[in-house]
Amino acid sequence: MSDLSLFDQNFVGNPNNNIFGLPFTEDEARLVILPVPWEVTVSYAAGTARACEHIYKCSKQVDIYDVDGSFGWKQGFYMRELDKKILMKSDYLRKEAELFIDYISKGESVEKNKFMCKSLKEINEGSKMMNQWVYDQCKELLDKGKLVGLLGGDHSTPLGFMKALTEKYGSFGVLQIDAHCDLRKAYEHFIYSHASIMYNALEEIPTLEKLIQLGVRDYSEEEWNLVCNSNYRVITYFDKEIKERQFEGETWKHLVDEIVQQLPQQVYLSFDIDGLDRKYCPNTGTPVQGGFESEEIFFLIKKIHESGRKLIGFDLVEIGVGQSDWDSNVGARTLWRLCNLMIKNHS
Ligand SMILES: [Mn+2]
């Protein structure tokens, strides 16, 4: 571990240090953050591919104090350098995807247009390449014994991460914080769409025993049917249902106890920032009214820990980039809390 005796946690963040101004190398760090600057299939507002660099910048302003009292940061956090090739590929394919979405939204058939067929093939192949890249990076880190957090990018990014995790840990459950189900099959013809991440995870990862979704408030009939026919493999707590139960007098603690009880022993947290109220993420790709307070989610994660369950990994995705740094500031502080809680869970 890095010698912290010369590190003043109360002083201004040293720009030469790594994320949160911490003085660790990757080898020294217990937890490594993998940035995935990718947003090829976003449906509404773009920008999240650039969230990693913005969050990294804002992270230097985060106070080095763990309010959850575990001081996990002392075991080291490190963010890998942004992969420029992934970002360039995302920028290039994003342009193609915009033309493609524009074309199909007018009701035109893809098969009739050779150019569009070629675009679609390139986009789907590019997404496959990204999934493989994420898998390889995560596998390497997990083999080295690191805890890993993935920072998006859009919500399509963590599929390879979940695959690498299950090879190491075996079967697991996913706790998804999200305004959307993300259970669409090949949304807009894109096999690895951000709107299809959980559909693909359920299809491609048989060891994913259970998916619990929280905060959903925008979904299609196709997704509703998938949840109903999943034989309880997918359990969705819609935002409306959570709020109505609270209006009737149930406490958040009571709901959290019920949610935690349904999770398997090993839990992967998939945190789409749009699961929160929009005040925390005004520039996220697909904002919807309603949603959680951030402290409600941290409370839930602490209860997962208290229940003796293991958090095997997490992602934080769909953070937008706006005129101000607000989205990235919330992103950096959310990441800080998650990293500390992750280490607390493994101490
Ligand atoms: Mn999502």
Distance spanning both ends of the chain, measured CA to CA: 15
Dist. CA 7 → ligand 1 center (Å)? 38
Q: Specify whether the backbone of 155 is left (phi greater than 0), alpha (psi in -120 to 50) or beta.
A: alpha
On whether the CB atoms of residues 335 and 291 are closer than 8 A, the answer is no
What mean pLDDT is predicted for residues 45-62?
Answer: 93
Report CA(285)–ligand 1 centroid distance (Å): 9
Gap from CA of 272 to ligand 1 centroid (Å): 5
For residue 239, what pLDDT is reported?
98
**Measured between alpha carbons, how far is 48 from 96 in angstroms, rounded to an integer?**
17
Expressed in angstroms and rounded, the spacing between residue 20 Cα and the centre of ligand 1 is 26
Q: What is the pLDDT of residues 173-184, one digit of tens each?
A: 999 999 999 999
Structure tokens, 77: 């956090």
- Ligand 1 center to residue 63 CA distance, Å? 28
Q: What proportion of the chain, given as a percentage, has pLDDT over 70?
A: 99
> Which three-class secondary structure state does DSSP give residue 60?
coil
pLDDT for 1 beyond 80: no
- Centre a 10 Å sphere on the Cβ of residue 101 and count the other Cβ atoms it contains: 15
317 φψ region: left (φ > 0), alpha (ψ -120 to 50), beta (else)? beta
pLDDT digits (tens, 9 = 90+) for 82-111: 999 999 999 999 999 999 999 999 988 999
Q: How far is the CA of 195 from the centre of ligand 1 (A)?
A: 6
Give the rounded distance of the alpha carbon of 22 from its chain centre: 22
Residue 6's pLDDT is 78
Ligand 1 centroid to residue 17 C-alpha, Å: 31
Could you report the per-residue pLDDT of 244-261, keeping only the tens digit for each?
Answer: 999 999 999 999 999 999
What's this model's pTM, rounded to 2 decimal places? Answer: 0.96
Measured in angstroms, how far is the CA atom of residue 317 from the centroid of ligand 1?
8
Cα of 53 from ligand 1 centre, angstroms: 20
Across the range 266-280, mean pLDDT stands at 98
Taking a 5 Å cut-off on Cβ, the residues next to ion ligand 1 are 155, 178, 182, 272
Instruction: Tell me, in angstroms, the distance from the centre of ligand 1 to residue 181's CA.
Output: 7
pLDDT in tens, 126-148: 999 999 999 999 999 999 999 99
Ligand 1 geometric centre to CA of 184 (Å): 11
CA of 190 to the centre of ligand 1 (A): 15
What CATH class does 4-345 carry? alpha beta
Distance 157 CA to ligand 1 centre (A): 10
Using the 8-state DSSP alphabet, how is residue 206 labeled? T
Expressed in angstroms and rounded, the spacing between residue 12 Cα and the centre of ligand 1 is 35
- For ligand 1, the distance from its centroid to the CA atom of residue 279, given in whole angstroms, is 17
The order of strands in the sheet holding 310-317 is 77-79, 31-36, 147-152, 310-317, 266-272, 172-177, 208-216, 234-238
Q: For residue 263, how far is its CA from the centre of ligand 1 (angstroms)?
A: 19
